Amino acid sequence: MSTFSGEPHTSQKNGASAKNLHDMLGLGSYETAWAWLHKLRRAMVRPDRELLSDVVEVDESFVGGRATGKLGASTSKAPVMIAVENLGPQVNRKLRLGRVRLGVADSPGSKQLVDFARTTVEPGSVIRTDGARMFRTLASEGFKHEYISGYSSPEPGHVTLPGPHRVASLLKRWNAGTHHYRVEREHLQYYLDEFTFRFNRRRSSARGMLFYRLLQQSVNTDPHPLAELVSRTSELFPLNDNAAEFVPSDTHGEF
């Protein structure tokens, strides 16, 4: 496959799902498109990327399939840690956000969220969180910690910590519209990496160059054969009655 065949996935604002790429390139199987995109996702995060800085809001949300009558955490949803730069007062009622970092947590409300803040935010920066006591240690570790207690604040979460709530809303819309809630948990971090890659470059004036930047990062990324990518084939690709072809788990949609 030509390396330039992946350019629409990065240069277009909405990207391309595996089904979309499969149809656009006329590939012989959906499996090929799926594996190719997953290899790209593993190159979307630079290990030496800069830490978030200035004012950073940290919170968690939940991503997963529909759960009728359930809000927030449930066994069918994965807790996602969110850290995003708040660039200051809103302009024309528009929230001004900078870069974002996302991570999958093992369980909701755990101290893993504190470790996530430590490893994604530059020391000396302001970290805003909710009132959970586990965050109080950040003030003695080189950060300026600001917290808002849900008990003392009359404002809802989307007002007190607007950044993570906005990012979570966009992430859920992307999961629903593009992947129809069928992102498997074992691969969720790589989808979060793709979302981060796109979000942090959303204002790029040279979108065509994004593909070349991704190629540069791919050169420094370890190879990932299909056998490694698909460790649980039956879960990732539900087979049809004839067990002869892969059934797409994501379709075209907007980012």
Contact (CB, 8 A) for 226 and 181: no
Q: Is the pLDDT of residue 127 over 80?
A: yes
CA distance 172 to 154: 26
CA distance 60 to 58: 7
CA distance 121 to 50: 9
Q: What is the pLDDT of residue 243?
A: 28
CA distance 34 to 31: 5
Query: How much is the pTM?
Result: 0.79
**pLDDT digits 0-9 by tens, 70-121:** 555 555 789 999 999 999 877 777 889 999 999 999 999 999 999 999 999 9
Contact (CB, 8 A) for 100 and 121: no
**pLDDT digits 0-9 by tens, 161-207:** 999 999 999 999 888 777 667 677 888 999 999 999 889 988 877 76
Q: What is the pLDDT of residue 73?
A: 58
First vs last C-alpha separation in the chain: 25
Percent of the chain with pLDDT over 90: 36
Contact (CB, 8 A) for 105 and 189: no
More confident: 227 or 99: 99
For the chain, the structural domain boundaries read 55-172
CA torsion sign, 100 to 106 to 109 to 113? negative
Considering the domain 55-172 in this protein, what is its CATH number? Answer: 3.30.420
